[in-house]
Structure 1
Amino acid sequence: MFEAITDEEQRGQVGIGTLIVFIAMVLVAAIAAGVLINTAGFLQTQAEATGEESTSQVSDRLQVVSTSGNVVENTTDNYVINNVTFVVAKAPGAGLVDLKETTVQVIGEQGQNSTQLDDLDADIESVLDVDNGVLTDNSDRAAVHLNFSTTNGDFSNYAELKSGERLTATFTTASGASTTKEIRVPTTLTSDQDSVRL
């Protein structure tokens, strides 16, 4: 049944062949393991980066604390709002929020428009009442002033806001997280009011 190998040289050749096959298998397994480890490391890094970006998109947003409007008399003896002030803060759990990298989009009866807060006509220090325009702490507050006057306004297609007019402002931070605030001008504006809450 089994053939005995009597020649010693033939026995040695069989052992060397087996050893070569074994070494080749070990090398192939080592290369495959290296590829798998590299791929796993790359996927882990990518997953961590994706998780951080997704978290930032959800949490690194602004919170509108209060909204007020400046009441003025226009040329037709009606009272309108020419300036809206949004007091904003970091939302709970948010990281650093750079207001200079934040955009605001307004949508209302007069159309829609958007701009970056850094591009507002007013001087940046007077627009953003925080150092360098970065909210670092939950107690930080910033006043963002949007000018809706027909002359030197922040939005080319917007005039002053009239009584009863509705407007939606959406603030989007650099990470892509957005906060929407809907404001409505009171139906009655009088000379006794310097500003009104919106």
Structure 2
Amino acid sequence: MFEKIANNEDRGQVGIGTLIVFIAMVLVAAIAAGVLINTAGFLQSSAEETGQQSSSQVTDRLQVVSTVGSVADNSGDPVISEVEITVKRAPGADNVDLETTIAQWVDSSSTADLTWDETTSGNYDAATNFTSSTFQDDDSSISESNVLNDPADRAVLTFSAADISSPGIDEGETVTIKLNTQSGGTTTATISAPETLSGKSTVAL
């Protein structure tokens, strides 16, 4: 049975109740829409940030141009005592700060994590640090701030093999050096010493 509205006053009360319910529904829908819009915006920002970080890890890295080793005598046995790696920005990479780059040295007998430092600093340790110098730089960004900011920039990273893995790199030995930039881009340089180092002062690796 349906309730029978007896008079006009009851009709007015029912109309007001319906209006209140309607307004409440509109408010709830508006709040829900606002929450959904904010959530969508947050998810979009997070996705863009994640995409940029992932892209940086792929593109913002170094590219090896050449590697050279200096030969020294170790009690009659020649070894590579120093390694120089010439690097540039990889294609599509943004500026690369060499001061925040980390190197991992792996050879047959040892592993070392190396950070950038200056030989003039009081904290420099050839067993745990590497240095950088300018090979080609039109605006002095490398010499002044150790930053590769142009595709034409070339920097030389110097590693003391004699201190990192004493007495150095033996004949025929292979060493892997991983260069990891601040954004997470990784470059692997695999260097192999020649089978004979006798009579040589420098060798290409």
Query: TM-score with structure 1 length normalisation?
Result: 0.88
Residue 194 of structure 1: aligned partner: 201
Say yes or no: does 1:168 pair with 2:176. Answer: yes
Say yes or no: does 1:148 pair with 2:161. Answer: yes
Cα-to-partner distance string for 1:57-115 (whole Å, 9 max, x where unaligned): 111111010000011222x2222110000001111011111111111111112211111
Residue 133 of structure 2: aligned partner: 128
Secondary structure of 2:117 counterpart: helix
Closer, same or farther: CA 34–4 of 1 in aligned 2, 3 Å: same
Secondary structure of 1:85 counterpart: strand
Secondary structure of 2:40 counterpart: helix
Tell me how far apart the structure 1 counterparts of residues 198 and 185 of structure 2 sit (CA, whole Å). 37
Residue 79 of structure 2: aligned partner: 80
Residue 13 of structure 1: aligned partner: 13
Unaligned runs of 5+ in 2: 119-123, 135-141
Root mean square deviation, CA, Å: 2.2
Unaligned runs of 5+ in 1: none
Residue 138 of structure 1: aligned partner: 151
Tell me how far apart the structure 1 counterparts of residues 97 and 168 of structure 2 sit (CA, whole Å). 28
Tell me how far apart the structure 1 counterparts of residues 91 and 48 of structure 2 sit (CA, whole Å). 22
Closer, same or farther: CA 11–58 of 1 in aligned 2, 3 Å: same
Residue 178 of structure 1: aligned partner: 186
Maintained 8 Å contact 2:98/2:132: no
Residue 112 of structure 2: aligned partner: 113
Closer, same or farther: CA 133–113 of 1 in aligned 2, 3 Å: same
Identity among equivalent pairs (%): 50
Maintained 8 Å contact 1:87/1:142: yes
Maintained 8 Å contact 1:110/1:158: no
Deviation at 1:3, TM superposition (A): 8.1
Aligned length: 190
Deviation at 1:185, TM superposition (A): 0.5
Query: TM-score with structure 2 length normalisation?
Result: 0.85
Tell me how far apart the structure 2 counterparts of residues 20 and 127 of structure 1 sit (CA, whole Å). 74
Residue 159 of structure 1: aligned partner: 167
Tell me how far apart the structure 2 counterparts of residues 70 and 184 of structure 1 sit (CA, whole Å). 13
Equivalences for 1:19-34 in 2 at 5 Å? Answer: 19-34=19-34
Letter in 1 for 2:18: T
